[in-house]
Structure 1
Amino acid sequence: MEYKITNTWDSIKVMREPVIIRFKAGDQGLIMEVNSLFFDDPSAPSGEPRKPFDGLWDYEVVQSFFLNSETKDYLEVELCPKDCLIFEAGINWNKWNGTALIPWRYFPPGVDKMNSYAIHGSGIGRTYEALYPIPREDIEQGQAGPDKKTMG
């Protein structure tokens, strides 16, 4: 399955090459492949590569959430061009590619929903893109976005 992230979280069209995410079933788990422009902003986290890193979402990441909508149990997978689980990443000029193997045992039973995000930039230039964004007409006055700022 291939997905392209073409909008920000609040349904504004992204005016550049989209992030592409591919999911493939493997014997050991779900294979997640990412192909994205490389922004190198903010710079790489200081943690040890391939080790858990709290706050990875504060860096340049592509993330996917897998939800059981009845129990609200979910798995969050964050891939950074310079760090992650069983993960191969390569940066070539202005693009990065990554492949991760997510073991089946990591997923909660009964996953029936998924969404993915691409996050990059610093300060006022921080950008949150979503595979399934909130339609603009559904955003309420004062609703907080992913960066905790309010709309309107």
Structure 2
Amino acid sequence: MHEPVIITFKAGDGGLIMEVNSLYFDDPPAPPGEPGFPFDGLWDYEVVEAFFLNSKTKEYLEVELCPHGQHLVLLLSGGDCFAKGLDLDFKADIHWNKWNGTALIPWRYFPPGVDKMNAYAIHGSGIGRTYEALYPIPREEIAEDQGPNFHRLEYFKKFSLKWIMGENWEQPASDLWP
């Protein structure tokens, strides 16, 4: 119903650059947190999210970016969050009815062996709340009265960081993942 959110991944110095270009819906209002800092519960606001999964271990990274400059980074294993509120170099700006954001996601945040991903965009309030997915759950598999669930890992699709970094690239080791 609107032009799509565009998420671009690029090689960065010490991590993966995630760029977001999106319409700015201005609904709901900005979260009360300070721009440039983590904000717990950011998923309740206007946000774009990317998830990076190791499908064998079920370990994954969730990165949430808000047009107002707040962010949220979560590390999850089997759906259980074991780290959140990690720092992120993230800048966002709003121009008229569009917003752009750029984040540098450090390599240490990624679980080893990322092989799948998904991305989401969320905006609106109340009955007008809209949830969009790069790889959505097929309509026939949505149960009656089922709410949004971004942690349905079986619907994530094939992804490799080597597609961005090059075939000879090796993911740096992380002190955050067991």
Q: Structure 1 length as normaliser, TM-score?
A: 0.82
Aligned residue among 106, 111, 115 for 2:114: 111
**Percent identity of paired positions between Structure 1 and Structure 2:** 80
Q: Does 1:69 align with 2:55?
A: yes
Q: Does 1:136 align with 2:139?
A: yes
Instruction: Give the Cα separation in 2 of the matches to 1:107 and 1:49.
Output: 23
Q: Partner letter of residue 77 of structure 1?
A: V
Aligned length: 132
Q: Partner letter of residue 42 of structure 2?
A: L
Q: Which residue of 2 aligns with 1:45?
A: 31
Instruction: Give the Cα separation in 2 of the matches to 1:101 and 1:27.
Output: 8
SS in 2 for 1:41: coil
Q: Partner letter of residue 144 of structure 1?
A: Q
Q: Which residue of 1 aligns with 2:148?
A: 146
Instruction: Give the Cα separation in 2 of the matches to 1:27 and 1:94.
Output: 31
Q: Partner letter of residue 145 of structure 1?
A: G
Aligned residue among 57, 64, 83 for 2:43: 57
Q: Which residue of 1 aligns with 2:18?
A: 32
Structure 1 stretches lacking a partner, 5+ long: 1-14, 148-152
Instruction: Give the Cα separation in 1 of the matches to 2:145 and 2:119.
Output: 20
Q: Which has the higher contact order (CA 8 A, sep 6+)?
A: 1
Q: Partner letter of residue 45 of structure 1?
A: P
SS in 1 for 2:27: coil
Instruction: Give the Cα separation in 2 of the matches to 1:134 and 1:25.
Output: 29
Instruction: Give the Cα separation in 2 of the matches to 1:143 and 1:24.
Output: 38
Q: Retained in 1: the 8 A contact 2:36–2:91?
A: no
Instruction: Give the Cα separation in 1 of the matches to 2:57 and 2:92.
Output: 33
Aligned residue among 72, 89, 93 for 2:92: 89
- Following TM superposition, by how much is the alpha carbon of 1:97 offset from its aligned partner in structure 2, in angstroms? 0.5
| 1:15-67 deviation per Cα after TM superposition (whole angstroms, max 9, x unaligned) | 11110000112231000000000011111111122222110000000000111
Q: Does 1:23 align with 2:25?
A: no
Q: Retained in 1: the 8 A contact 2:43–2:64?
A: yes
| 1:68-116 deviation per Cα after TM superposition (whole angstroms, max 9, x unaligned) | 1111111000000012331121101000011100000000111111000
Q: Partner letter of residue 33 of structure 2?
A: G
Structure 2 stretches lacking a partner, 5+ long: 72-87, 150-178
